Structure 1
Amino acid sequence: MATRNAVRGMTREELLALPVAVDLDTANKALTIGRSTGYALAKRDLYPVTVLKLGNAYRVVTEDLHRLLGVAPEQAAERRDLCA
């Protein structure tokens, strides 16, 4: 019997450990969007964050993911507190 792979999101620690830009599959995982849905949204310019098309590859800026998900590195939060 085949089991269906459920899309699992990412923990805060996993999100904060991401590099500056990630591939679309990683962004899909962070947003709990299935692969087919994510690529379909990106192709129609409906992805929830900006998607960069570089040749045949899609890339997502991690900062955009952090902003959408409400996850910010503590260092950035500390800098905001110092400026307030």
Structure 2
Amino acid sequence: MTNHGDAPLTFREIFDLPVSVDLRTAARAFGMCLGTAYRLIGQEAFPCHTVRVGRRHRVLTVDLLRALGIEERPVFADEVADGVALTLFD
């Protein structure tokens, strides 16, 4: 049974990620389980570059976004309403 923590990341969650993420989070972004992520790393076939830190793997968010085909961060309507982003009409 899959728990909520393993559900794929939403579009909004992807843009709220820190500079680097753990392998579980990166795997969620691709909609795969952690076991598949480790298998792909072992085959040197994980969709983006990973950095080994001790016994763990980290993924730079910029590499993750690039592998997902995301080049620019979109502006969400609620960010404009909250004054976090400017509209074209400002």
- TMscore range, shorter length: 0.7 to 0.9
Q: Tell me, in whole angstroms, the C-alpha distance in 1 between the residues paired with 2:33 and 2:13.
A: 18
Structure 1 residues not aligned, in runs of 5+? 76-84
State the partner residue of 1:42.
41
State the partner residue of 1:13.
12
Q: Tell me, in whole angstroms, the C-alpha distance in 2 between the residues paired with 1:8 and 1:21.
A: 19
Q: Which entry has the higher C-alpha Rg, 1 or 2?
A: 2
More helix by share: 1
Runs of 4+ in structure 1 off by over 3 angstroms are none
Structure 2 residues not aligned, in runs of 5+? 76-90
Taking structure 1 as the reference length, what is the TM-score of the superposition?
A: 0.74
After superposition, the CA RMSD in angstroms is 1.8
The structure whose RCO (Cα within 8 Å, separation 6+) is larger is 1
Taking structure 2 as the reference length, what is the TM-score of the superposition?
A: 0.70
Deviation at 1:40, TM superposition (A): 1.3
Deviation at 1:53, TM superposition (A): 0.6
Moved more, 23-32 or 39-48: 39-48
Matched residue SS, 1:47:
coil
Aligned residues: percent identity?
Answer: 33
